[in-house]
Amino acid sequence: VNGKSGIYERENLNVRWLSGALERITEDHVNIAKCRLQLFDLVIVDTTYDAAVNDAVCPLNNWQGSTFCNSTNSRGEHKSKKINPFNETDSHFVGAWIERLRPSFELYDYARILSYVQLKERGVKDIPEMSEVPSYIDTLERYTDLKLNTPKESLVTLKNIDRFHPPKEFCDNLKKVWGSNVDEVPYIYGIGALDPQ
């Protein structure tokens, strides 16, 4: 697989999908991915899933009583009940792996902020509190022996939203290019792909 063009590397896949990066991830790739996220009508992350589905998606589509539109669902953060997959793994190795995924953590934190803002704009009131701890630091502390102090300017809050936004001019230029592209469905070869012809 190494050296073949068109093959996505495993790490930071969400940044790669949104930015089109094939090789090494750069800050520009992270910013491109954030600009693309801004184009979504509604960004839903794990912590806002119940509120987004029940109070935004279901009413928007006039869905009632379906499996997905059950207002009695818990409104808390989805917590995995799986055992820690890193129980017997050296914490240095885990920390290095988490560091490799740092661009994905940054994109996830931006998605959390966007989701929160978009739900507020849609009048959703019962949104779970957003953890202020950056997901990168939260994950390091959870799976390694590290205890870290988060500087106030790095907290994931609406007050710090400018720290997470990609540069405005950068996004505006990309949106002009994306907006001028012709809408077309490219033929994609692979498992489950359909020939559009």
Whether residue 33 has pLDDT greater than 70: yes
Specify the pLDDT at position 169: 92
Do residues 174 and 32 lie in contact, with contact meaning Cβ atoms separated by under 8 Å?
A: yes
If you write DSSP's letter for every residue of the chain in order, what string do you get?
-TT-TTPPPSTTHHHHHHH---SS--HHHHHHHHHHHHTSS----GGGHHHHIIIIIHHHTT--SSTT--TTS--S-----S--TTTTS-HHHHHHHHHHTHHHHHHHHHHHHHHHHHHHHTT---PPPPP-S-HHHHHHHHHSS---PPPGGGS-SGGGHHHHSPPHHHHHHHHHHHHHSPP------STT-----
Half-sphere exposure of residue 75: CA atoms within 13 angstroms, side-chain side: 13
Taking residues 120-135, what's their average pLDDT?
89
Whether residue 101 has pLDDT greater than 50: yes
Whether residue 71 has pLDDT greater than 60: no
- Kindly provide the b/e burial profile for residues 110-124, where b requires at least 16 CB atoms within 10 angstroms of the residue's own CB: bbbbbbbebbeebeb
d(CA 44, CA 39): 13
Whether residue 94 has pLDDT greater than 70: yes
Q: What is the pTM of this model?
A: 0.77
Least confident of 19-28, 53-62, 114-123, 159-168: 53-62
Least confident of 16-20, 25-29, 43-47, 75-79: 75-79
Specify the pLDDT at position 4: 43
